Amino acid sequence: MREIEKTFQNLKKRNEGALIAYVAGGDPKPEYTPDIVEALIDGGADIIELGIPFSDPVADGPTIQAATVRALNAGTTPKMVLEMVSEVKDRHRVPITVLTYYNPVFRMGLEDFFKSASRCGVDGLVVPDLPIEEARDYKRVAEAYEIDTIFLAAPSTSTERLRKIVEHTSGFLYLVSVFGVTGTRKEVQELTVNLIRKALPFTTGKIPLAVGFGISKPEHVRTIITNEADGAIVGSRFVKIIEKNRENNDEMIEEIKKCAHELKKATIRNRSSE
């Protein structure tokens, strides 16, 4: 059993959802990322999603785009992000997924990329611009290295296509909660709740369902988990903390840890009032 599947199973036994925390690798500087990831884990994040900075991040909103620019300006490369995973994995067994657009994978070559990712301890990959129809070779190599291929489903995804995506994804299904790009929102939309209800008949008993885009507050996480999703993905909230404190590393780490702790508490089902 792979680590992502094992994590979701253990959380289910504890009646908890997963907090999946995203940050851009190399933001604000490459040497900060392992400590940032450590703070997320100390705060309670169950799975880490580490972004490889790319010059054309079409799925990302302004907050994560700015993080990508900072990381690229700091000289961050795909190989450096994979090595960051290795550094964290030397200290923790928390699953780490890498979010990348397909171009960096293509440029490195499928075999070389996955060989490096496997050596560094990457557990799964999220590639927003890779449709299932074009993923046969990618999926074959990923499976050979026992790295999960995490596909995304969007609000516009048809029922038939959703069924196909569920058949091809592994680790979990990444459900995009809103139309548009990443970024914080004031509240969870009714659209998101309806999307969860639409997806559950296809994922229940087959693959964990995690919801991302626009999830930034404990009440957002609570709504996602209460409506029977298995995990909530939070990115822009953490990236904003990094942006605000990029000149004060100690304060950044403490605020990230505190934020992760508050969000993680919201994943616990049947919570008593505090």
User: Which is catalytic among the residues 49, 83, 230, 255?
Assistant: 49
Q: Which residues contact 167 (CB under 8 A, 6 or more apart)?
A: none
Place of tokens 């992502």: 4
How many angstroms separate the Cα of 250 from the Cα of each of 25, 43, 55, 68?
18, 15, 29, 22
Alpha-carbon distance values, 240 to 59, 216, 274 (Å): 17, 10, 27
CA atoms within 13 A on the CB side of 242: 29
User: 199 in helix, strand or coil?
Assistant: helix
Q: How far, in Å, CA of 259 to CA of 92, rounded?
A: 20
What whole-number distance in Å separates Cα of residue 216 and Cα of residue 187? Answer: 9
The verdict on whether 49 is a catalytic residue reads: yes
Tell me how far CA of residue 76 lies from CA of 25, 82, 83, 239, in angstroms. 8, 11, 11, 16
Say which of 3, 46, 60, 255 is annotated catalytic. Answer: 60
Q: What is the DSSP letter of 173?
A: E
Q: Is 134 noted as a catalytic residue in this protein?
A: no
Residue 265: CB atoms within 10 Å: 16
For residue 28, say if its preceding peptide bond is cis, omega within 30 degrees of 0. yes
Positions marked active-site = 49, 60
